[in-house]
Amino acid sequence: MMENGGYVGQYGQEESYMEQEEEWEREGLLDPAWEKQQKKTFTAWCNSHLRKAGTSIENIEDDFRNGLKLMLLLEVISGETLPKPDRGKMRFHKIANVNKALDFIASKGVKLVSIGAEEIVDGNLKMTLGMIWTIILRFAIQDISVEEMTAKEGLLLWCQRKTAPYKNVNVQNFHLSFKDGLAFCALIHRHRPDLIDYSKLSKDNPLENLNTAFDVAEKYLDIPRMLDPDDLINTPKPDERAIMTYVSCYYHAFQGAQQAETAANRICKVLKVNQENERLMEEYERLASDLLEWIRRTMPWLNSRQSDSTLAGVQKKLEEYRTYRRKHKPPRVEQKAKLETNFNTLQTKLRLSNRPAYMPTEGKMVSDITNSWKGLEHAEKAFEEWLLAETMRLERLEHLAQKFKHKADTHEDWTKGKEEMLQSQDYRNCKLNELKALKKKHEAFESDLAAHQDRVEQIAAIAQELNTLEYHDCASVNSRCQRICDQWDRLGSLTQRRRQGLDEAERILEKIDLLHLEFAKRAAPFNNWLDGAREDLVDMFIVHTMEEIQGLIQAHDQFKATLGEADKEFNVIIGLVRDAEAIVKQEQVPGGLVNPYTTLSADLISRKWSEVRALVPQRDQTLANELRKQQNNEMLRRQFAEKANAVGPWIERQMDAVTAIGMGMSGSLEEQLHRLKEYEQAVYAYKPSIEELEKIHQAVQESMIFENRYTHYTMETLRVGWEQLLTSINRNINEVENQILTRDSKGITQEQLTEFRSSFNHFDKNRTGRLAPEEFKSCLVSLGYSIGKDKQGDMDFQRILAVVDPNASGYVQFDAFLDFMTRESTDTDTAEQVIDSFRILASDRPYILPDELRRELPPDQAEYCIQRMPPYKGPNAIPGALDYMSFSTALYGESDL
């Protein structure tokens, strides 16, 4: 529309020609040269169209006065026929013709104000220029639009983009920015570099630059000179209407090149998406291969159950495992989370760019990695359980081995000289009393031998247990045990033969020293009791609980309660010796102090009794030390339990909160993302608590504590919970970011997204983040999606399922659901659009040449196309021709891209 001599069109309001002139004149900004520039430019513009009708004008304010050439100009530039003009020469004929022209302008949606036919007929220059400017705006500039800007702003942005790469050119307006001529030269060089050598131009030669541009445009582009270089240089601020008119001719002259540029931009956009997707695919493949290779290398170590069968060797393996959990595995946990995040991001980008879903190479699916990771965690758990069990087994083996050695040493000390004694024939030359003494001594030995039977059986039982538990030095244990058993058999045989010899001589030897015999009989079991008590008092033990050490202390207290009776027996035995000494002294019996029935003596019994009494307080101290150790273990249990009972629920609460946010229960996506990142920061801030718990757990293991009744949490469950929490946070952050990306790229509102999420959550009863097919169908119905109950409706639903669940997993994830709900309304590029763009660059040919690609596209994307486009095999093919159609189709189909 025109208001007060100006023009208002669909792209905004152009200020009134007359009002603008008057305002500039009031402010002292009106340059008298402007009217001259406009007159020359508008005249040249009119002639560029009138020459098509074989005519022209010389004086713009005079030649349009009769309205004939004005009507002819409008017919040429519009391609339409105006009413037949009046041929009379009277003033009213001229006014009628001019009115016909003005009525035609008004019929094109332009409202003219303050411009009447009388002013044009009277040759009013200002009104005539205003009318021509209105025509130029309507028919030459109105249709120029760049990024939905007004005609003037669109034309200015077009100039800025075209001249951006050129030195000394900075287009900010349509007056001063064109004074030095470089902007005109840059526009020509950008589209026809063969016409101007821009590198030889200088900002210091504006006249030369302007003449060069105007001459080239007139000679090669069919754009007549509309501006005077001297006027532009000498006018402080050239008239922008004149320059706009001239620049619009450049725009229309290069309109074909503009279409090629638009096509090239679309192709670049598509190729950039594919290149980025390929980079993400390669990154995923690299990360997946690296992680799977690490798991493959780690599994044999975790599955190995070989050790040197020593406690030190197994403890070294346990420390290696702890180092693995603290140092080697955490980076892999992060790598796994990054891998899943990259995969989800890639799939989202592929959906948003209308590309087929990415299928990793065989064995590298996310499910494959998850299964390998689960196998790794199962192997870790089994390996740690084996290490702890092996530690307990080897500890018990060491204890049994020491016990075997101690009992074997004691037995071998007892058997020293016994075989020589039993083989002796000394009884053949004894007197009667000596023979009887020898017989009684042998009876005492038989009693002692029988008493040692239990010890030999204990030694054999310990050796058998060591064999059952696969003690590493079983060979030496078995050899020693066999020697002891063989010797024991020989002692039995020798004892029986000596007994027979003594019985043979019994008929001769009758007298017996009852007192010595009584001593021998009572001293032998007491001595055996002393040996057993001494063994028990120095016996090594291993306990793991307070109950076990308290049981040992109670047994020791019971033993101490028997010491009174033992003291009485000791006094009786010593009394027998004293009685014998008294009789020998009184009766003067030669050799009577020698007890023929036993090798035991009062001194030996007294020494052993003293040793037993001395060992009692030592045993008290040993048990007290162990009690303190178990009390310390109990403290460690409580410390671990107190910390674990705080950490475990904290992890569970964080997991519940993250899950609730991930379900989109409240707030916008940005608020959910903000809250998730806050939780992420809180979780990392909580890591010192986990590390402190690890230190306590290490102390617990080093103290050989294998159970804890104060808590149901174990370090393994807490580690797994911690890793799952980190993974859940990363996964939910990635999912929310992908939803934001989907929302923004699809153009859906927060209210729509909230409605989709609310409907999805309503049918996701178990909060699993996915819907079964029937739940998905109900969700679609709740959103107004019509799915019939007939066979056709079932077929439609199966088609939808194939889109949202391409892998036939039996579930629909929220991202796929959201993508489906917004996909049909999204303006995405298609293979047909890309083919049309290539066809423009190829000048409507079914093939394109490498040089054309290199000329129209950036270097990297041009080479990308050249390397991937197959040769064109159709009719009229020329050497080097490339098939852009099959290439474009492959971008959106199943291919290796």
Tens of pLDDT along 199-247? 899 999 999 999 999 999 999 888 898 888 988 888 888 888 888 888 9
pLDDT at 371 over 90: yes
What is the Cα 355 distance to its own chain's centre? Answer: 23
The answer to whether residues 287 and 342 touch, using CB atoms and an 8 Å cutoff, is yes
The answer to whether residues 32 and 21 touch, using CB atoms and an 8 Å cutoff, is no
pLDDT at 662 over 90: no
| Domain assignment of residue 727, given as a range | 647-824
Q: Which two tokens stand for residue 351?
A: 């959906």
| pLDDT score, position 597 | 77
In whole angstroms, give the CA distance from residue 745 to residue 789: 34
pLDDT at 511 over 50: no
| pLDDT score, position 883 | 93
Mean pLDDT calculated for residue range 343-364? 86
Cα end-to-end span (Å), the chain: 52
435-449, 477-491, 854-868: least confidently modelled range = 435-449
Q: What single DSSP character describes residue 16?
A: P
Query: 591: pLDDT confidence band, cut at 50, 70 and 90?
Result: low
Same domain, 460 and 553: yes
Mean pLDDT calculated for residue range 798-820? 81
In whole angstroms, give the CA distance from residue 8 to residue 15: 8
Tell me if 306 is assigned to some domain.
Answer: yes
pLDDT at 425 over 60: yes
In whole angstroms, give the CA distance from residue 273 to residue 741: 15
| pLDDT score, position 553 | 84
Mean pLDDT calculated for residue range 795-815? 82
Same domain, 357 and 291: yes
Tell me if 33 is assigned to some domain.
Answer: no
Mean pLDDT calculated for residue range 670-674? 83
Could you tell me which of 386, 601, 599, 421 has the C-alpha nearest to residue 498?
421
Same domain, 343 and 384: yes
Q: Which of 567, 600, 633 is the last residue of a domain?
A: 600
Query: 627: pLDDT confidence band, cut at 50, 70 and 90?
Result: confident
Query: 300: pLDDT confidence band, cut at 50, 70 and 90?
Result: very high
Residue 871 phi, psi (nearest 5): -65, 145
Mean pLDDT calculated for residue range 60-84? 88
Q: Is 363 helix (H, G, I), strand (E, B) or coil?
A: coil
Mean pLDDT calculated for residue range 180-190? 92
Host H or E run for residue 61: helix 60-63
| pLDDT score, position 146 | 62
278-287, 307-316, 746-755, 885-894: least confidently modelled range = 746-755
Query: 650: pLDDT confidence band, cut at 50, 70 and 90?
Result: very high
Tell me if 37 is assigned to some domain.
Answer: no
Same domain, 349 and 309: yes
Give the burial class of 842: count Cβ atoms within 10 A of its Cβ; 0-12 exposed, 13-18 middle, 19 or more buried. Answer: buried
Residue 775: CATH number of its domain: 1.20.58.60
Query: 895: pLDDT confidence band, cut at 50, 70 and 90?
Result: very low
Neighbours of 482 (CB within 10 A): 12
Tell me if 60 is assigned to some domain.
Answer: no
| pLDDT score, position 28 | 42
Could you tell me which of 336, 333, 314, 316 has the C-alpha nearest to residue 325?
333
Q: What single DSSP character describes residue 768?
A: -
pLDDT top residue among 716 and 668: 716
| pLDDT score, position 382 | 92
In whole angstroms, give the CA distance from residue 317 to residue 326: 14
166-180, 358-372, 461-475, 502-516: least confidently modelled range = 502-516
Tell me if 487 is assigned to some domain.
Answer: yes
Same domain, 853 and 814: no
In whole angstroms, give the CA distance from residue 271 to residue 891: 9
| Whole-angstrom Cα Rg for the chain | 54
Q: Which of 796, 824, 852 is the last residue of a domain?
A: 824
**Range 174-213 burial, b when 16+ CB lie within 10 A, else e:** bbbbbbbbbbbbbbbbbbbeebbebeebeeeebeebbebb
Same domain, 837 and 793: no
pLDDT at 296 over 90: yes
Q: What single DSSP character describes residue 9?
A: E
In whole angstroms, give the CA distance from residue 397 to residue 310: 9
pLDDT at 829 over 80: no
pLDDT at 1 over 60: no
| pLDDT score, position 584 | 60
pLDDT at 877 over 90: no
Mean pLDDT calculated for residue range 94-123? 84
Tell me if 362 is assigned to some domain.
Answer: yes
Same domain, 319 and 362: yes
Within 8 A by CB and 6+ apart from 745, the residues are: 352, 826
Within 8 A by CB and 6+ apart from 709, the residues are: 637
Which residue is listed with tokens 């690890």? Answer: 694
Q: Which two tokens stand for residue 187?
A: 């526009």
- Looking at every residue in the chain, the average pLDDT score rounds to 82
Query: 297: pLDDT confidence band, cut at 50, 70 and 90?
Result: very high
Instruction: Give the whole-number percent of the chain exceeding pLDDT 70.
Output: 89
| pLDDT score, position 13 | 39
Same domain, 841 and 819: no
Tell me if 283 is assigned to some domain.
Answer: yes
Which residue type, as a one-letter code, is found at position 716?
E
Which residue type, as a one-letter code, is found at position 95?
I
64-73, 260-269, 457-466: least confidently modelled range = 260-269
pLDDT digits (tens, 9 = 90+) for 472-498: 788 888 998 998 898 888 888 888 888
Tell me if 517 is assigned to some domain.
Answer: yes
Mean pLDDT calculated for residue range 751-756? 73
How many distinct structural domains can be found in the chain? 4
Q: How many CA atoms lie within 13 A of 683 on its CB side?
A: 24
pLDDT at 123 over 50: yes
Could you tell me which of 516, 616, 503 has the C-alpha nearest to residue 563?
616
Same domain, 813 and 861: no
| pLDDT score, position 172 | 92
Give the burial class of 327: count Cβ atoms within 10 A of its Cβ; 0-12 exposed, 13-18 middle, 19 or more buried. Answer: exposed
Same domain, 299 and 345: yes
Residue 709 phi, psi (nearest 5): -80, -5
Instruction: Give the whole-number percent of the chain exceeding pLDDT 90.
Output: 10
| pLDDT score, position 18 | 53
In whole angstroms, give the CA distance from residue 658 to residue 40: 73
pLDDT at 824 over 60: no
pLDDT digits (tens, 9 = 90+) for 5-42: 333 333 333 444 555 555 545 444 446 677 888 888 88
Q: How many CA atoms lie within 13 A of 655 on its CB side?
A: 16
pLDDT at 590 over 70: no
Residue 84 phi, psi (nearest 5): -65, 130
257-261, 314-318, 409-413: least confidently modelled range = 257-261
Same domain, 385 and 477: no
| pLDDT score, position 746 | 67
pLDDT digits (tens, 9 = 90+) for 168-178: 999 999 889 99
Q: Which of 791, 824, 857 is the last residue of a domain?
A: 824
Same domain, 486 and 540: yes
In whole angstroms, give the CA distance from residue 861 to residue 890: 16
pLDDT at 826 over 60: no
| pLDDT score, position 331 | 92
In whole angstroms, give the CA distance from residue 517 to residue 437: 8
